[in-house]
Structure formats: structure tokens, C-alpha cells
Amino acid sequence: MKVFGLTGGIGMGKSAAAQWLQKRGVPLVDTDLLARAIVEPGQPALQEVCQAFGSQIVGPDGRLRRDELARIVFSNNAARRKLETITHPRIRDSWKNQIEVWRAGRLPLAVVVIPLLFETGAERDLNATICAACSAATRHRRLLERGWTAGQIESRIAAQWPVEKKMVKADFVVWTEGSLEILSDQLACIFG
């Protein structure tokens, strides 16, 4: 089984590439979804995050107030690293367990979407890596369209490696500047 890691900076087109793969039946797990699942009410990680950052990060419904936690961790590198020590091992265990399930099912290939793939050293556990990338202007426009402020954009980008560094380390790069058809053609070249 060949396991690909899909990465790229925030707003660079990872989701569009992941959707293309899923529509073609490629087994895929997105670590952003895993990150949400491990902090659901009742999960041990939510308790640890609450202990580390205070009860104000949990709403009256018992759910993580992601906006409040983001405000804290994206303005303070030490706080972000503290959060990552709680969440990253659990996220890694989850996607690695999913790979084992796919291996047991004798699937030929699978994809793990990992925004911080190189930052966390995950490439060591993968057969190949793909970086989705676009221009800084397109990224900025996409993030503004999501309703983010300039400050939020800047702090999120600062929390990841520059996309140029990811592109150099990746086995494949897909350029997401153009249409979905162009992205489709690029992914088809990689996945056949």
C-alpha cells in the first residue's frame, strides 16, 4: 500500500485536492477533522486543553470554543506549542491507526491530509508527499473570503512553514492558482 501525505499552507487548496481524491474513491483521512474529534466533549484531550488554557475555552454547552483557543495560541508561540504537545500525538495515533485499517483491507493507496506534515516530521511515515500551493495574493484573498481578519491571516501563516519550504521538501507540487480542471489534471498525473 502506498500512503501519500497531502499538505500545503492554509488557504492553498488542500481541501480542493482532497475533495477531488474523495470523489474518485481514494481513501482519505483529514487531520483537521481528527483534531476536532479529539476535543469533543468527554474526550481526554478536551480536559487537558481546558486545564492548560482555562475554563473560558469551553462554552456552556461543554464544547471547545475554537475561536477563543485560536486567539490564545496564535498570538503566543509557547501556548501553541503547549497545545500541540496535547493534540499532535493523539492526531498522529489516529491517522496511523486508520492506515493500519486500510492496510488490513489491502487497499492499494490512501491519502492523509496533514497541514503541518513537514513541521511534525510526518513524512517519515509516508511513501510520498504532495504540496498544494498558490500565490500569496490568492491565499490572502481566499482567507479574506472565509471572513478572516488580516491579523488572523498573519498569525495563522506565521504558525506554519513558508509554502516555498514545503514545496522544496515535497515529492509532488500541485499549483492551485487556476481552475479545478487544471488541479484535476495535475492530480491525475500523480494518481493515474
**Chain mean pLDDT for the chain:** 95
Instruction: Give me the number of domains the chain comprises.
Output: 1
pTM: 0.92
State yes or no: pLDDT of 88 exceeds 90: yes
CATH number, position 89? 3.40.50.300
Report CA 56 to chain centroid distance, whole Å: 25
Average pLDDT over residues 86-91: 97
Measured distance CA(29)–CA(37) in Å, rounded: 12
The whole domain housing 86 covers 2-191
pLDDT in tens, 133-161: 999 999 999 999 999 999 999 998 988 99
pLDDT in tens, 61-71: 999 999 999 99
Contacts of 98 (CB under 8 A, 6+ apart): 29, 110, 112
Q: What pLDDT, on a 0 to 100 scale, did the predictor assign at position 52?
A: 97
Q: What pLDDT, on a 0 to 100 scale, did the predictor assign at position 192?
A: 78
pLDDT in tens, 30-82: 999 999 999 999 999 999 999 999 999 999 999 999 999 999 999 899 999 99
Average pLDDT over residues 164-189: 95
pLDDT over 90 percentage in the chain: 94
Q: What pLDDT, on a 0 to 100 scale, did the predictor assign at position 3?
A: 98
State yes or no: pLDDT of 4 exceeds 90: yes
Q: Fill in the amino acid letter for 44.
A: P
Element (DSSP H or E) covering residue 175: strand 172-175
